[in-house]
Amino acid sequence: MTAYRADSINVDGGDLAVGVWGDDGPLVVAAHGITSHHRAWALVGEDLGADHRFVAPDLRGRGHSRDLPAPYGMARHAADLAEVIQAYGGTAVVVGHSMGAWAAVELARSYPMLVDRLVLVDGGPAMPPPPGVPADPSPDQVTAAIVETVGRAYQRLTMTFPDRAAYVATWQAHPSFADWSRTMAEYAEYDLVEVDGALRPACHLEAALRDARDLFAWQPVPPAALPVPAVFLRAERGMLDQPDPMIAAEEATRAFPGIAEREVPGTNHYTIVLGPKGAAEVAAEVRNTD
């Protein structure tokens, strides 16, 4: 069993919580999704920690980093990730899932000297805005479009729960978690915090709304090669386990000329990291130096 420990590093505004699997070997730094936290990487960390030092932070506004102050956005997350890499040693392979992939892209573009390689997991290419959004939307129109697009995930952030079992049950009922596991239960349990006497998800709604603005192509985005070697892993199915993937086939190739792209069969947007098959594929790709 790979050793795991909780740690923290100082960043602008306070301490960023991190989870660390393994003590030796090449450094891997992983960034999670928009309403998630570092325990999304538990299976990947346990695998890679055997021969790597795998470090995954709770991004600003989430998990045990929820009280770090704004501003949010991909540039701020990239700066925090740069601090993580420097704190744990030199350069890193950077893995990003969902929103974490957008943060990883920003990191590679802003701090290429810190990134050996990128592994983008079901995220990274700018997504088209929802139908009906004007070409130059106002901040309110952007927010409304974001809530409409990922409403289920955001609705959870406004809710309170009578106990931890009730919160875990909401995740267990999610269509993407049909193959429920102890790892998934621990993921849900870590996410719950007490605020003003009520149990609620750790992620700040303000952080999720602001960060989502950076994921959509509100204006045309020309293709641009990444400054470091990169691979894109696409989940076969979407956020609600629907047949359509979140990122369409060849979209990463169009957005990032020269990137390697492949699909991970038998996974959805969540289980590509939280399920054993997906986690094994991600870990194998980190180890793949070809």
Strands 53-57 and 27-31: parallel
pLDDT at 10: 96
Contact 67, 14 (CB under 8 A): yes
Domain holding 181: CATH number? 3.40.50.1820
User: Which stretches in the chain have pLDDT values below 50?
Assistant: none
Q: Interior CA angle at 153 toward 152 and 155, to 5°?
A: 65
Phi, psi of 112 (to 5 degrees): -60, -25
Please say whether the beta carbons of 42 and 189 come within 8 A. no
Structural domain of 91: 4-287
The identity of residue 116, as a single letter, is D
pTM attached to this predicted model: 0.95
> pLDDT per residue over 60-94, tens digit each?
999 999 999 999 999 999 999 999 999 998 899 99
Residue 128 confidence (pLDDT): 82
Give the chain's domain count: 1
| Alpha-carbon 87 to chain mean position | 20
Q: Quick: pLDDT tens for 81-138.
A: 999 999 998 899 999 999 999 999 999 999 999 999 999 999 999 988 777 777 777 7
Q: What is the residue-wise DSSP string for 10-77? A: EETTEEEEEEEE-SSSSEEEEE--TT--GGGGHHHHHHHTTTSEEEEE--TTSGGGTTSPSP-SHHHH
In this structure, the chain runs to a length of 290
Query: What is the enclosing helix (H) or strand (E) of 79?
Result: helix 74-88
Q: What is the mean pLDDT of the chain?
A: 93
